[in-house]
Amino acid sequence: MAGVMARIPMSHRILTPNSNRDNVFQGEVLVLSMSDTVFGFLHEQREGLPENITYKENEEEEEDEVENTNRIVEDNIKFWEDQHSLLQATLYRTSSLESRIRNCTKEALKEAQVSGDVCSCQNPVFGGCRSCLMKQVSGCLQNAGFDSAICKSKWKNLPDIPSGEHTFVDIVDRNTKKGEVRIILELNFRGEFEMAKASEEYNRLVSTLPEVFVGKVERLLSLTTILCSAAKKCMKDRKMHLGPWRKNRYMQAKWLRVSERRTTVPRLMSTTDYSSRPQRPRASMLTVDLLDKLPGVRCAAFEVV
């Protein structure tokens, strides 16, 4: 039976449409050719497919990053524009009482500048010190009829802010229909909000503040809220810690937690006050002889008022 061919399983046969007979190949050769053909094709597909997907995913990620960056930039621009608008609107609102006090304060500061050194401390400071300047301004306001005083605020440690103290000038008006009105006068208002490592946007916002602030308590609270919110945003963008002395509660405590109000400030004479000058004769020098000859005559027209 050596000439009888062994039957090959169907799994090892390949049928061709051009022949009715089975074209038989050896199993090992068939398996190798099928492996090279099928798995080689699958390998080519597998190599090409992830590259295309990764490329598309990278494009989408880049687009998302660009959109997020643009959104952040737009949000930042809108935030600072809103802060500028709120600040300007709050500063430009004023009342007749605030305007009168502001004008009187300007005159007092001009007089202090003209007089030069206004420091009357035991150890005088060249150019004057803040304490003596507050005394002079408060005295000028008292001379103008305002209930002005130097206030000292002081507070202990709180859960979120440290202890501190501050001195400023305030004016109380009790002649209004709305009751008692309190006006805050801060000689170094802009300096209270300046920060050494602040961003350009924050510095530009602070630069719009007046050096000397005169305004109601409500206006002051609105300004501190705006500026402290801007300081928080500034430090967050720069990935820096915001000191507790920059928080809104700490800044407001400077002008709200008053522990002492000294109303016994000596009323300083203004440089334009005539009582500090030598007494002038009540009559014109042109009428001296006439008055000597007529001592009984008192003519109001010759008197200087």
d(CA 16, CA 23): 7
- pLDDT tens digits, 161-177: 899 999 999 999 988 77
Residue 7 has a CB neighbour count (10 Å cut-off) of 8
Q: Are 262 and 150 a contacting pair, CB within 8 Å?
A: yes
d(CA 185, CA 235): 28
Q: What is the pTM of this model?
A: 0.64
Residues 6 or more apart from 120 whose CB is under 8 A from it? 132, 135
- Stretch 13-27: mean pLDDT, rounded? 48
Task: Tell me which of 97-106, 255-264, 271-280 is least confident.
Answer: 271-280
d(CA 185, CA 100): 13
H/E run at residue 230: helix 217-237
pLDDT for 122 equals 65
- pLDDT tens digits, 50-106: 555 555 566 666 666 666 777 788 888 999 999 999 999 999 888 999 999 999 999
pLDDT of 124 over the 80 cut: no
pLDDT for 115 equals 75
